[in-house]
Amino acid sequence: MALDAVLSRIDTDLSAATDRLIELLRIPSISTDPAFKDKCQDAADWLVADLRSMGIEAEKRPTPGHPMVVGHVEGDGPHILFYGHYDVQPVDPLNLWDRDPFDPALEDTAAGKVIRGRGSSDDKGQLMTFVEACRAWKAVNGSLPCRITFFFEGEEESGSPSLVPFMKENAKELKADLALICDTGLFGEETPAIITMLRGLLGEELTITGPAKDLHSGMFGGIAMNPIRVLAKIIASLHDATGRVTVPGFYDGVPELSPEILDQWKNLGFDPAQFLGPVGLSDPAGEEAYTPLEMIWSRPTCEVNGIWGGYNGDGFKTVLPSKASAKISFRLVGQQDPLKIRENFRAYVKSMLPPDCEVEFKGHGASPAGQMETGDPAFEAARRALSDEWPRPAAYVGCGGSIPIAGYFKSILGMDAMLIGFGKDDDQIHSPNEKYDLNSFHKGIRSWARVLDAITKA
């Protein structure tokens, strides 16, 4: 069987694959720091050369910022686009690293061997799992199993300013049947996951103004309206006693989970106490009618991210402030319309203003949720393929955060994305001493070989 030979080749080539990854990790491709602009070019050049070494037509494409790397392999069957990013986070604070972050190496730990270095998990190690799977497949079979486009970005860690324009300008070239993204992780230690739900995000900043200037609370307290009091009342009213958000129309477009997905999530064995314990909490605080995983992955939220007003310095000042402000974010799911929710939220706030108070709003982004079409046979084929590689069956899961690239693939290129990754919660991405388990790297390569085989046959 061709797949068995590919998996055997991956096992035999693991040491060389690790050496290649370490070579890429040595390049300090920090996209947000202009001092490393040339190093981002070097990382793109390295990837182009590596793809070309496998006979893949690849090139570095300029952008106003850091370059994209695009490669193409023609073939029969489905057309797959694989996305990853080669840029990395800054390394500060450097004194908290146990070794030079750009002098990567294999290290022995109590949990097994790890690849230590900046970018090892986010995202160079993950990116290379797919590249190495393709290398092994090509070595065994002489060609890849389907048509593949490689699409590597160099600005993901700095806001992706060039991404959307590049995708729009090259939409015809980049459009495929399905996108694959490897920038996520396992559920726990041994459960592979396919993310099929991504929450959207709406940010709102509001400032309530009462008196024309700060006032002496002894002279004006009681007769003058305090904008902090107004703001506190508004914030307190945003949730009812069961944890539901009270903004009118907020739940329009929020779907209920299917019984099949609910069963998969129940079988994951998620322990909310274990999840909350390390941050000093114990009880889930979301909507009472839903499970903890639903609260994190499939339910919308309203959270206060910052609040200020009045005197905040040392000591005490009996001031009645002129202004009070807050920043509030909404995580969105399903078909919730962020612009409609913004409109309803602002109307709700205005309806609660007493006489002599006015409010000013400032928007901070508005992106809808992403929902992948798991009815596509490729999704179930990939889930079964992952289950064959790992100790526990793969599950369709949600993601509490937002991964913009998946939404761009849908809105710009009209294709769903399959998010599969092999990182772990303790990989310390964006932090000192980032690592990627050697087992994650090895089984990640094997997993992509299985997924490619399964999708091609789906």
pLDDT digits over 27-73, tens only?
A: 999 999 999 999 999 999 999 999 999 999 999 999 999 999 999 99
Q: What is the pLDDT of residues 194-248, one digit of tens each?
A: 999 999 999 999 999 999 999 999 999 999 999 999 999 999 999 999 999 999 9
Average pLDDT over the chain reads 96
Strands (E), 74-192: 79-85, 105-109, 112-116, 147-153, 178-181
Q: What is the pLDDT of residues 86-115, one digit of tens each?
A: 999 999 999 999 999 999 999 999 999 999
pLDDT score of 1 more than 80: no
| Two tokens, residue 231 | 């703001």
Does domain 200-254+300-367 sit in CATH 3.30.70.360? yes
pLDDT score of 424 more than 90: yes
Q: What are phi and psi of 37, to 5 degrees?
A: -60, -45
Cα separation of 181 and 371, whole Å?
15
CB atoms within 10 A of CB 331: 20
Place of tokens 């940010």: 203
Q: How confident is the model at residue 327 (pLDDT cuts 50, 70, 90)?
A: very high
CA distances from 387 to 80, 242, 261, 394, 443 (A): 21, 37, 16, 5, 12
Are 436 and 427 contacting, i.e. CB atoms less than 8 angstroms apart?
A: yes
Q: What is the pLDDT of residues 441-453, one digit of tens each?
A: 999 999 999 999 9
Residues whose CB is less than 8 angstroms from the CB of residue 356 and which lie 6 or more positions away in sequence, other chains included: 210, 211, 225
Q: Is the dihedral of CA 404, 388, 443, 186 positive or negative?
A: positive
Are 389 and 443 contacting, i.e. CB atoms less than 8 angstroms apart?
A: yes
Residues whose CB is less than 8 angstroms from the CB of residue 156 and which lie 6 or more positions away in sequence, other chains included: 31, 85, 87, 123, 163, 183, 405
Nearest C-alpha neighbor of 417 from the set 176, 205, 128, 142: 176
Nearest C-alpha neighbor of 144 from the set 153, 156, 136: 136
Classify residue 411 by burial, with Cβ atoms within 10 Å: 0-12, 13-18, 19+: middle
pLDDT score of 401 more than 90: no
pLDDT score of 438 more than 70: yes
Q: Which residues pair with 317 in a beta bridge?
A: none
Q: Is the dihedral of CA 87, 92, 96, 102 positive or negative?
A: positive
Torsion angle in degrees (nearest 10) through CA of 50, 53, 56, 59 = 50
Residues whose CB is less than 8 angstroms from the CB of residue 262 and which lie 6 or more positions away in sequence, other chains included: none
| Two tokens, residue 185 | 């992780």
Q: What is the pLDDT of residues 144-202, one digit of tens each?
A: 999 999 999 999 999 899 999 999 999 999 999 999 999 999 998 999 999 999 999 99
pLDDT of residue 111: 92
Q: How confident is the model at residue 367 (pLDDT cuts 50, 70, 90)?
A: confident
CATH of domain 2-198+369-457: 3.40.630.10
pLDDT score of 80 more than 80: yes
pLDDT of residue 371: 85
pLDDT score of 339 more than 80: yes
pLDDT score of 408 more than 70: yes
Greatest Cα-to-Cα distance within the chain, rounded to the nearest angstrom: 87
pLDDT score of 402 more than 80: no
Coarse DSSP helix, strand, coil percentages of the chain, rounded to the nearest 5 percent? 40, 25, 40
CATH 3.40.630.10 range(s) for the chain read: 2-198+369-457
Residues whose CB is less than 8 angstroms from the CB of residue 49 and which lie 6 or more positions away in sequence, other chains included: none
Q: What is the pLDDT of residues 5-23, one digit of tens each?
A: 999 999 999 999 999 999 9
Are 299 and 197 contacting, i.e. CB atoms less than 8 angstroms apart?
A: no
CATH 3.30.70.360 range(s) for the chain read: 200-254+300-367
CB atoms within 10 A of CB 393: 15
- How many residues can be counted in the chain? 458
Helix or strand (DSSP H, E) at 208: strand 200-209
